């Protein structure tokens, strides 16, 4: 047991099978699995929701504030196998100054930067590594745009599993060093995460490593979906009008949609309507935005992706067809924002709220503001923006006036600090 729940908690898995998100074929959830052999589609974990319908949500009372509190809807055989670094529930912040300046009067920011390893990737890694170890994996390889590699490296170290991480050479240097500090073998490639993924695919085929790439294994999404569980519980088991999500691979968006469907199926959420989802991408890498507005069901490979928001520098997501389907089913939308707008929002959130947003989280805020001005979002709707990581992971992108060096015996001049967004 690694500290998530008392050891006496009984094990009871409600997982029934894996299901291909494309063709619907079933697979055995008790064995390690990657993509569907029929059509290459990603697998989704399915549960006995009819049996879970008899489980009241009051059972959560007294459980620790962590993603493992939702264990009946998580894929593990035994709670004693949980791999945890103390991942607590993240806060839903009411940014009063930003509400005023942006005109979004019921804006909330869910701050995922407070999780272990400083990003929401800890959720996927915690559940993904837990399940991979249960099923016998000893070495996991994955490509990353940055934060996922760091998270899987940390949880792999905790679990005693070898982790191989391949990332673009343009990944922020602090994330490169962080990933190596957890003991992972880190390899850099010229190009994008797609190039890193090609390396991982070859290596896994040659050495028999387990491929932990985004949506190439079924369990990362199960960790990410706990964002949806928390959003519902923190709002008193109601759902917001709009959820704005910075989109690279889109796993968190898919996971939250899956979470809300499951919560409705077992009667924990009774809302007839589901949130409208917004996918925000950077103008320099916006394949899902382009596909959405061209009414396509899949995106095309984005040539030469460029943005300092590394988590959104994904030229083509394996789950793009699911993201696009969710956007349309939820009456949502996709929008692209510029790097200049992202940088300005990082600065505004810092000086007005004391929030050190990552570039991706700032991008989501920009998207919400633009959609308010375009009339897609109304000013009094409940809007949840996901800040997916800490700005400390992007130290080279932090802004502000440079420190002033004082000579010996010198005191600062009597000038009151000014908020200068």
Domains of the chain: 92-118+220-397 (3.40.50.1100)
d(CA 85, CA 80): 14
Across 132-161, average pLDDT: 96
Q: Which residue carries 């599993």 as its tokens?
A: 161
Least confident segment among 12-16, 87-91, 119-123, 124-128: 12-16
Q: Is 375 left (phi over 0), alpha (psi -120 to 50) or beta?
A: left
Q: How far is CA 276 from CA 260, 271, 279, 368, 376, in A?
A: 12, 13, 10, 12, 10
Say whether pLDDT at 384 is over 50. Answer: yes
Say whether pLDDT at 7 is over 50. Answer: no
Identify the pLDDT of residue 140. 98
d(CA 144, CA 232): 29
Say whether pLDDT at 9 is over 90. Answer: no
Based on the number of CB atoms within 10 Å of its own CB, is 270 exposed (0-12), middle (13-18) or buried (19 or more)?
Answer: exposed
Note the pLDDT tens digit of each residue in 309-358: 999 999 999 999 999 999 999 999 999 999 999 999 999 999 999 999 99
Chain centroid to CA 86: how far?
Answer: 17
Note the pLDDT tens digit of each residue in 261-307: 999 999 999 877 899 999 999 999 999 999 999 999 999 999 999 99
Identify the pLDDT of residue 11. 52
Q: Cβ distance 386 to 227 under 8 Å?
A: yes
Based on the number of CB atoms within 10 Å of its own CB, is 205 exposed (0-12), middle (13-18) or buried (19 or more)?
Answer: exposed
Say whether pLDDT at 3 is over 60. Answer: no
d(CA 145, CA 168): 7
SS3 330: coil
295, two tokens: 């009414």
- Taking residue 273's Cβ as centre, other Cβ atoms within 10 Å add up to 9
Q: Tell me the β-bridge partners of 44.
A: 19
> Confidence band (pLDDT; 50, 70, 90) for 418?
low
Phi and psi torsions of 400, nearest 5°: 140, 165
Identify the pLDDT of residue 270. 84
Identify the pLDDT of residue 171. 92
Q: Cβ distance 224 to 252 under 8 Å?
A: yes
Q: Cβ distance 281 to 288 under 8 Å?
A: yes
SS3 13: coil
Say whether pLDDT at 41 is over 70. Answer: yes
Q: Cβ distance 278 to 244 under 8 Å?
A: yes
Identify the pLDDT of residue 185. 97
Average pLDDT, whole number, for the chain? 94
Say whether pLDDT at 376 is over 90. Answer: yes
CA atoms within 13 A on the CB side of 212: 36
**What DSSP string runs through 16-65?**
EEEEETTT--EE-TTS---S-TTT-PPEEEEE-HHHHTTS-GGGGTTS-S
Nearest-CA neighbor of 249 among 295, 199, 310? Answer: 310
- CB neighbours of 198 closer than 8 A, spacing ≥ 6? none
> Confidence band (pLDDT; 50, 70, 90) for 146?
confident
SS3 366: helix
Q: Cβ distance 258 to 225 under 8 Å?
A: yes
Residue-wise burial string across 34-68, b where 16 or more C-beta atoms lie within 10 A, e elsewhere: bbbeeeebbbbbbbebeebeeeeeeeeeeeeebbb
Note the pLDDT tens digit of each residue in 398-411: 888 888 899 999 99
SS3 66: strand
Note the pLDDT tens digit of each residue in 177-235: 999 999 999 999 999 999 999 999 999 999 999 999 999 999 999 999 999 999 999 99
């Amino acid at each position: 047991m690694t500290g998530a729940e008392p050891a006496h908690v009984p094990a009871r898995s409600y997982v029934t099978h894996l299901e291909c998100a494309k063709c619907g074929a079933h697979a055995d959830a008790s064995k390690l699995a990657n993509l569907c052999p029929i059509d290459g589609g990603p697998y989704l974990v399915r549960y006995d929701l009819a049996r879970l319908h008899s489980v009241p949500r009051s059972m959560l009372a007294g459980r620790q504030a962590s993603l493992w509190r939702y264990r009946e809807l998580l894929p593990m055989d035994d709670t004693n196998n949980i791999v945890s670094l103390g991942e607590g529930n993240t806060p839903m912040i009411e940014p009063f100054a930003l509400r005023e300046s942006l005109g979004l009067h019921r804006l909330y920011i869910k701050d995922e930067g407070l999780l272990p390893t400083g990003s929401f990737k800890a959720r996927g890694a915690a559940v993904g590594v837990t399940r991979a170890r249960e099923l016998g994996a000893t070495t996991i390889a994955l490509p990353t745009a940055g934060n996922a590699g760091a998270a899987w490296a940390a949880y792999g170290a905790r679990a005693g599993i070898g982790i191989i991480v391949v990332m673009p050479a343009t990944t922020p240097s602090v994330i490169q060093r962080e990933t190596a500090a957890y003991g992972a073998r880190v390899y850099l490639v010229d190009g994008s995460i797609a190039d890193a993924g090609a390396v991982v695919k070859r290596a896994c085929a040659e050495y028999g490593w387990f491929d932990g790439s985004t949506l190439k294994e079924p369990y990362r999404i199960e960790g990410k979906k706990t964002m949806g569980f928390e959003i519902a519980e923190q709002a008193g088991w109601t759902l917001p009008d709009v959820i704005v999500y910075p989109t690279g691979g889109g796993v968190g968006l898919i996971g939250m949609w899956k979470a809300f469907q499951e919560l409705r199926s077992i009667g924990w959420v009774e809302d007839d309507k589901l949130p409208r989802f917004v996918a925000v991408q950077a103008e320099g890498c916006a394949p899902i935005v382009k596909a959405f507005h061209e009414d396509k069901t899949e995106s095309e490979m984005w040539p030469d992706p460029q943005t300092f928001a590394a988590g959104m520098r994904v030229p083509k997501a394996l789950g793009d067809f699911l993201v696009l389907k969710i956007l349309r089913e939820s009456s949502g939308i996709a929008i692209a924002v510029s790097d200049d707008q992202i940088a300005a929002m990082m600065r505004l959130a810092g000086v007005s709220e004391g929030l050190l947003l990552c570039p991706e989280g700032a991008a989501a805020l920009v998207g919400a503001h633009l959609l308010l001005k375009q009339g897609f979002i109304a000013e009094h709707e409940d809007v949840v923006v996901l800040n997916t990581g800490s700005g400390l992971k992007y130290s080279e992108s932090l802004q502000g006036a440079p420190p002033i060096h004082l000579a010996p015996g010198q005191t600062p001049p009597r000038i009151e600090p000014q908020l200068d967004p």
